[in-house]
């Protein structure tokens, strides 16, 4: 590998896991991290979509592995952690991008099944991910956890309570974990608010919005990849406008 290769592939040799990497910001982040040299593990429930992202990565000369899974099934996370430990014995980067958006509604009309789905996906799965991959992140020596949040997690908004409440808990979990491991194993945590971004979730929340008026997902992905190269303090916050 030439010196120019090292310059253009700053994440070479690192192993990254991106949840929700079949579409949107997760997919764009997976592609960007692979472009920057990381071997990216792609997770999601849509196998065909994951295969499409993997094809894009391989066509660009990157490396990736598909791991279809449902984050709401905690056993699947444990199995993935065991598989990664058996192949690499470490995890350098964990990007938690997968999330579930319930129907926007007043607090008094929250649909219980959807709220439970949001709690399971956005909160419970996050705790299981941190538990399962904590040992592998510590073995990295420079493990990084990036959590994708939303402004409604810290600034409540009418009709967004079901999603906002789960993102508030999501941030609390990550901040607590960040403080707990701050001096152990070199693991650092950052929480990224992508802002208005052209995704399927955004279209669901704002059906009348012209998607061309908001930035594309690759803009957020580039910011995340750049952040991973910085010596940021744990519990770091980044807003992508």
CATH of the domain at 69: 3.40.50.720
Give the Å distances, CA to CA, from 173 to 48, 144, 145, 162, 177: 32, 15, 12, 17, 6
Mean pLDDT value across the chain: 95
Number of structural domains (the chain) is: 1
| Candidates 100, 163, 177, 206; catalytic one | 163
Specify the DSSP element, H or E, that contains 117: helix 112-119
At 175, give phi and psi (nearest 5°).
-65, -40
For residue 87, what is the enclosing H or E element? helix 74-87
Catalytic site includes residue 206: no
Domain that holds residue 145: 3-239
Residue 156 pLDDT more than 70?
Answer: yes
Q: What do you get for the CA distance between the two ends of the chain, in Å?
A: 36
Could you tell me what percent of the chain has a pLDDT over 90? 94
pLDDT confidence of residue 8: 65
Phi-psi region of 169 (alpha: psi -120 to 50; beta: other; left: phi over 0): alpha
How far apart (Å, rounded) are the C-alpha atoms in residues 173 and 165?
13
Kindly tell me if the per-residue pLDDT of 5 is higher than 60.
no
């Amino acid at each position: 590998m030439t010196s120019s290769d090292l310059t253009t592939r700053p994440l070479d040799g690192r192993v990254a896991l991106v949840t929700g990497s079949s579409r949107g910001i997760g997919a764009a982040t997976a592609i960007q991290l692979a472009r920057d040299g990381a071997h990216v593990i792609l997770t999601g429930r849509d196998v065909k979509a994951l295969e499409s992202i993997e094809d894009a990565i391989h066509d660009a000369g990157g490396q990736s592995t598909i791991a279809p899974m449902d984050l709401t099934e905690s056993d699947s996370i444990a199995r993935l952690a065991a598989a990664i430990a058996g192949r690499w014995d470490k995890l350098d980067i964990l990007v938690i991008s997968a999330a579930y958006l319930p129907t926007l509604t007043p607090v008094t009309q929250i649909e219980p099944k959807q709220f439970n789905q949001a709690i399971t996906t956005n909160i419970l799965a996050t705790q299981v991910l941190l538990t399962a991959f904590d040992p592998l992140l510590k073995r990295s020596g420079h493990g990084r956890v990036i959590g994708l949040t939303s402004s409604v997690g810290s600034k409540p908004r009418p009709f967004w309570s079901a999603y906002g409440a789960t993102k508030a808990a999501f941030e609390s979990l990550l901040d607590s974990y960040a403080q707990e491991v701050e001096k152990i194993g070199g693991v650092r945590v950052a929480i990224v608010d992508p802002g208005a971004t052209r995704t399927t979730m955004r279209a669901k929340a704002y059906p009348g919005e012209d998607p061309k008026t908001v930035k594309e997902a690759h803009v957020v992905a580039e910011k995340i990849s750049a952040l991973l190269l910085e010596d940021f303090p744990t519990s770091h916050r980044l807003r992508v406008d």
